[in-house]
Amino acid sequence: MKTPPTVLADVARRLARTWAQHATSSAAGVPAEGLWPHEFAIGNPTQNELERDFPAYVRRVQLWWAWAEEHRVQLRWRTRHVSSTAQQLPTHLVVEDISAAARLAGAPWPERLVRAEHRAAALRDRFDGNPNLERVLSGSVDLNDVDFELLCRAGAWFALNQDSRLTPRQVPIEGMHAKWLNTRQALVKQLAILDDLGLAPRHPSRVHFTYLDPQYRATRGRIHDCISTGDNAHLPYIPRVVLISENKDTAVWFPPVASAIAVEGAGSGAAAFAAVNWIRDAEVLVYWGDMDADGLEILNEFRAAGLPAVPLLMDFETYLRWERYGVNVDAKGKDLTNRPPRPVEQLPAEQRELYFKLIDERWTRVRRVEQERIPLDVARAALIAVVTERRQVSVDA
């Protein structure tokens, strides 16, 4: 036999599944058939179970009786015979309507249900005939009043301007900003009954980099450069060595290396780098990032995107050498703790070993050694060693 809290959890689950349909149906003046009232099973113990521990069932019945009286609800009862005596046992909790369900489930349901009914009526008044109103209501019931009004105005505007080719910042809706629209496009599309809002395509990703080749730098050409993915850019030389550095400063100030370019790894996803042919096709492609969970997950992301990046200074031996400079907080000062692993099948064995150490709850050492803590001359020597080992290029050390 279930306890009242267990059955209340059943009530809350059914309420979560049905409230939006109930509210939209009510706004349309159409009863939502089959949702409420509803009877929730309390239990039906076998005869052996009753006779084996009947005093425990008596206590449970008394609990249900007192609880039903306190909460003003109805129970269904069934007569059972135990040890030659007739006993009344509760079998179901009867919840008469959705308001009673919200009252039993408790906060935030009573307030949410009232708000849902008002907003369902508002949506019906302004978007009558829209087949998506139940989904829109589900996604918008917890918005504040200002955001809900913005949603309605955005849905109406996009329904009339289906191919504006404006950026999110340019859409002329008062009070709306780009971030608001970017995070609520799915709701706006449902309200405007559109598969696409007809906005301008996102601008291409930009890749920033630094030329490291000493012969080129002697020409006093530009040292720092950037390209947009998809551009037909002409570099002063095609690098045979590409170093992707997680931190901007280490890329900008990396020492000269023959036929090399240092790319700033922050700001663009792996797909943007994979779209640049001279990065993707470099004879030696190296990734250097922080020795922490994030840095190793980024390395995995690059490799999963088809970039065969060799890790630089991101193994346990390097960790041990520079551990004294490590920290246990992130860039915002928040403590670094253990966390569930993410899929990192693309990491080489050494980096995967370090990754699982750094996220383990039993790990008592620092969880982050930032790449900036390693001197750039050490990083340059390590890069040249990688290049030499791979025998892909000849680098003048």
Dist. CA 247–CA 388, nearest whole Å: 24
Fold that domain 206-390 belongs to in CATH: Dna Topoisomerase Vi A Subunit; Chain: A, domain 2 (3.40.1360)
pLDDT at 116: 96
Any idea where the domains of the chain sit in the sequence?
Answer: 4-105, 109-192, 206-390
Q: Which residue has the tokens 């050498």?
A: 321
pLDDT at 393: 45
**Residue 288 main-chain phi, psi, to 5 deg:** -125, 120
In this structure, is the dihedral angle defined by the CA atoms of residues 155, 156, 162 and 163, taken in order, positive or negative? negative
User: How many residues comprise the chain?
Assistant: 397
Q: With a cut of 50, which residues of the chain have pLDDT below it? A: 392-397
pLDDT at 268: 58
Could you give the C-alpha distances from 186 to 16, 190, 199, in angstroms and in order?
21, 6, 13
Dist. CA 311–CA 382, nearest whole Å: 10
Tokens standing for residue 394 = 């000849």
Region of 117 on the Ramachandran plot (φ > 0 left; ψ -120 to 50 alpha; else beta) = alpha
Dist. CA 303–CA 259, nearest whole Å: 22
Q: Which residue has the tokens 């995967």?
A: 352
Indicate whether this model's pTM tops 0.75.
no
Tokens standing for residue 37 = 């009232």
pLDDT at 144: 96
The set of residues, in sequence order, having a beta carbon less than 8 Å from that of 251 and lying 6+ positions away, is 208, 209, 210, 243, 245, 262, 263, 264, 265
Could you give the C-alpha distances from 354 to 320, 357, 369, 372, in angstroms and in order?
11, 5, 12, 19
Indicate the burial class of 186 (C-beta count within 10 angstroms; 0-12, 13-18, 19 or more).
exposed
pLDDT at 233: 81
pLDDT at 397: 43
Per the CB < 8 A criterion, the answer to whether 191 and 136 are in contact is yes
